[in-house]
Amino acid sequence: MSAPEPTTVLTLRVPADLDRRISREARRARKTKSALLRDALIQAFADGPPPDDPRARGPPPVPPRQPPGSEREAIDFVEHAADTRGWR
């Protein structure tokens, strides 16, 4: 006999009318609501792609750095931006 598959408890909050529909369908299928919803979720997600694990992708790529401007460009900027009129 194999060990049971690990499970996780999942709690859903649904509107009252949906709960009544789930209850009605569970009685019709002679299953518990949990079993009915478990089967529905397995069926809905069984054929989909596996969940994307961000840790498996690694860190995002780092954009290339712009080389710093030359010292001459900095001096030209300061010379043109400076207020050469002085204080009055």
CA distances 7 to 3, 37, 50, Å, are 12, 14, 17
pLDDT per position as a tens digit, 5-23: 788 898 999 999 999 999 9
Per the domain annotation, does 83 fall within a domain?
no
Question: Model confidence at 25, in pLDDT bands (50, 70, 90)?
Answer: very high
Per the domain annotation, does 34 fall within a domain?
yes
Per the domain annotation, does 86 fall within a domain?
no
Q: Which domain holds residue 40?
A: 16-46
Q: What's this model's pTM, rounded to 2 decimal places?
A: 0.49
Per the domain annotation, does 42 fall within a domain?
yes
Number of domains in the chain: 1
pLDDT per position as a tens digit, 38-88: 999 888 887 766 667 677 777 878 877 665 667 777 777 877 787 767 766
Per the domain annotation, does 35 fall within a domain?
yes
Provide the pLDDT for residue 26. 95
Give the relative orientation of helices 16-29 and 33-46 as an angle to the nearest 10 degrees.
90
Cα first-last separation, the chain: 95
Per the domain annotation, does 30 fall within a domain?
yes
